[in-house]
Structure 1
């Protein structure tokens, strides 16, 4: 009976994780719009680098962080007036930062308005961008 409960718990846990992963990607954002949003993020990171690092002020730490891009995530969601997608970075000490990028659309063009620390070492920070 104990093994059956372990299997059942694993299945329920797996379903919950799958639901959370799906929640991080809005399937209605597709094709050109999706690629334009992702391009805006990538261009923002590349065009705002100094000395090969992305500079981001972390108000919680009270410091300007020098971050190296590891990976842009493919998921995009809509939060209020913004499209939100994220990317993984590491700081100079190897600490993992997950930044969310707030992307706005204006006259058919997408641009990053701001980046926010979503998590440090997988510990999430709450923030609210919806009305």
Structure 2
């Protein structure tokens, strides 16, 4: 009887203390891309990539108050305001990418931009920004392997 009681107390304590041990190791705050001891994480998370994109747009917008992108097809500078960065993050070659929705502050058109991010030497940096859609009309699309291909009816 004493053995059963001891075993039950031991199990209750073990079950109660195991989560506390894990909580001490990972106390709920993200460690920002580095493992213990400062080693770099090999692949960035989708949240980190989206964060870099968002920060880039904010930083670039400080110059003029808008995110300015030249539109080759329309032959004009677009003055944009960020609406949101999409959840999906893809990878093509060496770059991660995601779409972001913008509002043209002059024409009030909706633009979908693709933003490429490079992960090099443990750092993330935006490398390219392209206009993917204007008012829902695609200028290009992606195949099953995330390669860019011209959209049907696109001028490029």
Q: Fold-level match, TM-score > 0.5?
A: yes
Structure 1 distance, partners of 2:76, 2:114, is: 18
Structure 1 contact 81–130 (Cα < 8 Å) conserved? no
* Residue 23 (structure 1) aligns with: none
Q: Which runs of 5+ in 1 are unaligned?
A: 1-30
Pick 1 or 2: higher relative contact order, CA cutoff 8 A, min separation 6. Answer: 1
| Structure of greater Rg | 2
5 Å-filtered alignment, 1:72-91, equals 72-91=85-104
Q: Which runs of 5+ in 2 are unaligned?
A: 1-42, 149-156
5 Å-filtered alignment, 1:95-110, equals 95-110=109-124
SS, match of residue 61 in structure 1? coil
> Runs of at least 4 residues of structure 1 off by over 3 A?
127-131
Structure 1 distance, partners of 2:71, 2:89, is: 23
* Residue 65 (structure 1) aligns with: 78
Structure 1 contact 100–118 (Cα < 8 Å) conserved? yes
Structure 2 distance, partners of 1:32, 1:123, is: 31
1:126 aligns with 2:155: no
Q: Report the TM-score, using the length of structure 1 for normalisation.
A: 0.70
Structure 1 contact 72–87 (Cα < 8 Å) conserved? yes
Q: Report the TM-score, using the length of structure 2 for normalisation.
A: 0.59
Deviations 1:7-45 (A, max 9, x none): xxxxxxxxxxxxxxxxxxxxxxxx952122111101110
1:44 aligns with 2:44: no
